[in-house]
Amino acid sequence: MAQPTPRIIKETQNLAKDKVQGIEVTPNPANFKHFFVIISGPPNTPYEGGVFDVELLLPDDYPMSPPKCVFNTKIYHPNIDNLGRICLDVLKDKWSPALQIRSILLSIQVLLSSPNPDDPLNNEAANLWKANEAQALMKAREFTLKYAKKH
């Protein structure tokens, strides 16, 4: 079986030692390229109080290619579709091998605080965000209360 690269070992150790507020990362003991992530909804957002289950997978050629991240918790957000896929520049064309798992998780956390309806993956949510932000925020809050398990 393949062994983790020194980089993956170091990043995993750093994530365990220097925790990111609002984010819990647990490496899958059976697969060093698979991480279970819990992201707490940021304060003063419709996601506040929610707990979002995310999985992060490192590709075989990491860090040359970005990790794959998927929300397992249903969420109403213009940049996250109903399959949990995330539209985020650092997971696509803005990826750089200089970035780390930590920077990706922080970017996802920021995305929850600052949705970008101009680069949507969920067109319905993006259109509502643009047409009636208050209603979109209400709907996002409803999804959080219904689907994001509490602390």
Q: Give CA angle at 107 (7, 115), nearest 5°.
A: 160
Catalytic residue (choose from 25, 56, 80, 87): 87
31: number of Cβ within 10 Å: 13
Distances in Å between the Cα of 97 and the Cα atoms of 62, 63, 90, 94 are 8, 5, 10, 10
| 87 tagged catalytic | yes
| Dist CA 32 CA 58 (whole Å) | 9
Active site residues: 87
